[in-house]
Amino acid sequence: MLVAAAFAVVAPIGPSPQAVAAEVDFPVGLSDPSILKVHEGTIEVTEDGTVIENLELRGTLRIEAEDVVVRNVWVYTTAQWTVYVASGSATLERMEIGHPDIIGERGIGGSNLRASGLDIHSVEDGIKLGSNAHYTNVYVHDLDSAGDKPHFDAVQADGGAMGASVTDSVLSSIGPRGIGNAAVFLKTDLGPIADITIANSYLEGGNYMNSVRDGGNGDPTGVVFRDNRVGETFRYGVTRFNGEVVWAGNVWDTSGVPVEPGDKEPPPATTTTTSTTTTTTSTTTTTTTMPPSTTTTMASEASGSDTTMPPTTTAADTELAAPEDASVAADGNTGIVAVAAVVALIALAALAIAFVRARAGGAEATPEDSG
């Protein structure tokens, strides 16, 4: 059964379908908005194999038949359910669920369905997981509510969900009224929850972004979060888990740093600073000046002549070009000064001896002076 042919074309309400954000890198939303035909009111599908396509549906789409196909359909309503697979099975492709001016409650839910390319917005809860329900390339964003105390969840299960998955999607609880409750919220209020996989997706928003809790029917089991990218907008933490949850390969979207269960904030931004260290080697020039040698003049009473000691040559005015040679040069100068001093003393001693001998010789030559 082909449902689309039964409706006439009328003008759509309000704005055209929502533009998809640039960061969503997969096909999502209506494949061709220009060919939509409008249907007012709820559609209940009860015939197996029905195909519903190219519609703007102003009411609930309720499926109660096997092998139903839905594609290129825009659905919005203020009723409790926007799209609901109550029984049977369905394949849903390239749909828009929600209208920014007509706020709904639940986007899509039910069991035994496969959905891809869905753009879900302007409802309180985006996806209500059932059993054997698998979603891929789904964009949940801009959640909203007409109620006073909204509880926005991009993906939610409150019991009875067994064997479901959301992969390769964008799941955000953030909307015009705040950051919402959770990107993924699984709680066993109405029954057990088991074997749920959230993988290869972008997650953001909420008080605790991902919450897996016992609501009175035991801990959810077999829950897996794998290879997801985690945004930085949330209130209390990335996870709040009861029981065993597989958490593997999940990273912060901006840095690629692994996210650990219980992380309450993203890692600080790392700033790489390149510092240049300049080492300067200074050359010290040391000038050692020796005092000039003293010229000693001794009057020779024997000969009547002056005996003059020549000036002593020392290592005066020596410049040391390298600082490591300064101590060696200083030691050398000290040795030269010492040698020069000894030589001067020996010379003085020799002159004294010569002077004494000259005096003695003079006395022997003139014996008359002895008496």
pLDDT tens digits, one per residue of 27-61: 999 999 999 999 999 999 999 999 999 999 999 99
Instruction: Please say if the pLDDT value at position 133 is more than 50.
Output: yes
pLDDT at 259: 97
Confidence band, pLDDT 50/70/90 cuts, at residue 270: low
Lowest mean pLDDT among 57-66, 108-117, 289-298: 289-298
Domain edges within the chain = 4-252, 286-370
Confidence band, pLDDT 50/70/90 cuts, at residue 306: very low
3-state DSSP call for residue 166? Answer: strand
Residues of the chain above pLDDT 90, percent: 63
pLDDT at 347: 66
Instruction: Please say if the pLDDT value at position 367 is more than 60.
Output: no
Residues of the chain above pLDDT 70, percent: 66
Q: What is the average pLDDT value for the chain, to the nearest integer?
A: 79
Copy the structure tokens of residue 150.
């909204």
Per-residue pLDDT tens digits for 68-108 = 999 999 999 999 999 999 999 999 999 999 999 999 999 99
Instruction: Please say if the pLDDT value at position 366 is more than 50.
Output: no
What value does the mean pLDDT take over residues 232-249?
96
Copy the structure tokens of residue 220.
């959810």
The answer to whether the beta carbons of residues 113 and 92 sit under 8 Å apart is yes
Q: Kindly report the number of other CB atoms within 10 A of residue 101's CB atom.
A: 9
What value does the mean pLDDT take over residues 251-267?
94
Enclosing H/E stretch for 350: helix 326-365
Instruction: Please say if the pLDDT value at position 16 is more than 60.
Output: no
Question: 0.75 exceeded by the pTM?
Answer: no
pLDDT at 328: 38
Nearest Cα residue to 195 out of 130, 128, 114: 130
Q: Provide the b/e sequence for 246-272 (b: ≥16 CB within 10 Å).
A: ebeebebbeeeeebeeebeebeeeeee
Task: Give residues with Cβ within 8 angstroms of 272, minimum separation 6.
Answer: none
**Distance (Å, whole) CA 96 – CA 30:** 6
Any idea of the CA torsion for 344, 350, 352, 354, to the nearest 10 degrees?
-150
pLDDT at 343: 59
Per-residue pLDDT tens digits for 313-364 = 443 333 333 344 434 344 445 555 455 565 566 666 666 665 546 554 444 3
Lowest mean pLDDT among 5-9, 167-171, 174-178, 290-294: 5-9
Confidence band, pLDDT 50/70/90 cuts, at residue 25: confident
Instruction: Please say if the pLDDT value at position 67 is more than 50.
Output: yes
Span between the terminal Cα atoms of the chain, in Å = 170
The answer to whether the beta carbons of residues 228 and 206 sit under 8 Å apart is no
